[in-house]
Amino acid sequence: MDKIFTTICFCFLFIGCMDVTKVAPKVDTLGLQKNIALLEQGRDVYINRCTKCHNAVRITRFPMKEWEDKILPEMILESRLAPAQSEAVTAYVRAVLLSNQK
């Protein structure tokens, strides 16, 4: 029983300490020079608002079309983001996906 409890605690600790930069890369690692403030805001929204209801997923897990057609519209509506937040998180997701294609 102690081994099971220890294993479960270790799993929660490991998951809780996951590197957020793997899920949402820092803007300065994307190789972009324009709209940095907007992208930083988008990353902040992604990390802090998108994780209120669920764990944030690695952005590169889904293709751009799925983000644009399904995920972003649904999550923006469900989380009631302000227009500026919606614009920022959309720009950030696009920037991450485009930088990943290089």
pLDDT at 9: 45
Give 61: exposed, middle or buried? Use CB within 10 Å, 0-12, 13-18, 19+: exposed
Q: How far apart are CA 56 and CA 32, in angstroms?
A: 23
Q: Which residues of the chain register pLDDT less than 50?
A: 9-17
H helices of 27-71, in order, are 36-48, 64-66
**pLDDT (tens digit, 9 = 90+) per residue, 54-67?**
777 889 999 999 99
Report the pLDDT value the prediction gives residue 8, as an integer from 0 to 100.
56
